[in-house]
Structure 1
Amino acid sequence: MPRFALLIEYDGGPFAGWQAQADRPSVQGAVEAALARLDPGFAQGARIAAAGRTDAGVHATGQVAHADLIRDWDPFRLSEALNWHLKPAPVAILAVARVDDEFHARFSAFERRYLFRLISRRAPLTHDRGRAWQVSHPLDLAAMREGAAHLLGRHDFTTFRSTMCQAKSPVKTLDELTITEAEIPQGREYRFTLRARSFLHNQVRSIVGTLERVGAGSWPPDRVAKALEARDRAACGPVCPPQGLYLTGVSYPQDPFATS
């Protein structure tokens, strides 16, 4: 059976997350329903596998999944057909590539990248409603960067891990945590970029929620180091809401979409 990699973009707002659920809408369910219109295997219940299972309300601009189909499609025609059948769901297939049977969207990946958007302004959001986390108070960029520096590298991230996390180990290596600031009408936008081989459940939202407390002046920057060292979920700051989080990319030893 030919295997295809799918590069997927979606607005997570209407969905209960990536993972298919029996009684709630999911991104996986939407893509599999579109595939069922095109492939007998999916009409009979075949499943796709993704690089990461985003939570309810989390968006993606670079999710990757793979599907084993009975028919050997031209990749461009498959992407066009899937996008037609995905309407009107806010899900788009950006690219499709034929890959080797050894390729696995999750297990072949060596890096995942996330973006979190945090907006500081008093006026309600309009265009970015549901696509960023808004706070009304000002934030100190330098303080947040100082706090973030304590989290780089290999650590036990138990403090920043959901109690529902199913990962075998809380030890992860955070390769990048950068924060940028930009002026927007009557406010400021802060963008947190995180990069690692893999992340724990709620790790990004726990980190951003904690750094927001630093930026607001409620935490001194060195409290982030103390929270990390505590290895205790109770030492974490608030877990921020999901709507500002985006899965922006997944890296593989060989980019399946390089020539697609």
Structure 2
Amino acid sequence: MDKAIRAVSPNKSLGKASNKHFWNWDKDEELGVRTLYLDGTIADESWWDDEITPRMFKDELLSGSGDIVVWINSPGGDCVAASQIYAMLMDYTGNVTVKIDGLAASAASVIAMAGTQVLMAPTALLMIHNPMSIAIGDTEEMQKAIAMLDEVKESIINAYEIKTGQSRAKISHLMDGETWMNANKAIELGFADGILEDSKRGHTEDVVFAFSRRAVTNSLMNKLVSKSAPKPEQKKNDAPVGVSIEVAMQKLQARKYI
């Protein structure tokens, strides 16, 4: 029997060819920054059956220059499609800032690894797992399908290893367990570099000082010294009259017998 083997995420739809884009470009004319939005299932009905689509994505990517921002909110998709996007973004000459605002799961997490910097919203999630496939045939065909999935997994580990610096054994274990990561865990394991911050909230000087105990201490001491230091007039007019050491010792000796 003929075989049908395909490495996909659980949410992949096997449909007919379509020119529907799963990406959208936007450009800030003032800042000159291009933004790429990857929403929904990666390669929805197009990459396997329509050879024009990958070329179109590459043409749009290379139609401009400079740094780009890539927003990702996707449950995954075709492994081959993710590999193509990953390779294009890795080869791009400008910086690629990946921002995960919702979900970067399965194949979408591979694309995220192409970021020069990967940032996650505090509420975002990143998920990695083993590739899946559909196979039809006898025992030999099933063994070939298993071997294919093993190679696909190794190729995915390559991307995770380059980004995180984790060992291949640890990454493989995380994939076996279908690991879900919030922003803090993704940063801890090296899959992300930071958390998206609200640029609208300005940070005052006091907030900045709060991150440095030494700066806070020095600032407090300077305020106390400047406030308690007497003015020049006070030193001259209000300074207390002192006594000699001999007089002071006599007073101390006298207090012993009281």
TM superposition score category, shorter chain reference: under 0.3
Specify which structure has the higher proportion of helix.
2
Specify which structure has the higher proportion of strand.
1
Provide TM-score, normalisation by structure 1. Answer: 0.22
RCO (CA 8 Å, sep 6+): is it higher in 1 or 2? 1
Provide TM-score, normalisation by structure 2. Answer: 0.22
Kindly name which structure, 1 or 2, has the bigger radius of gyration based on alpha carbons: 2
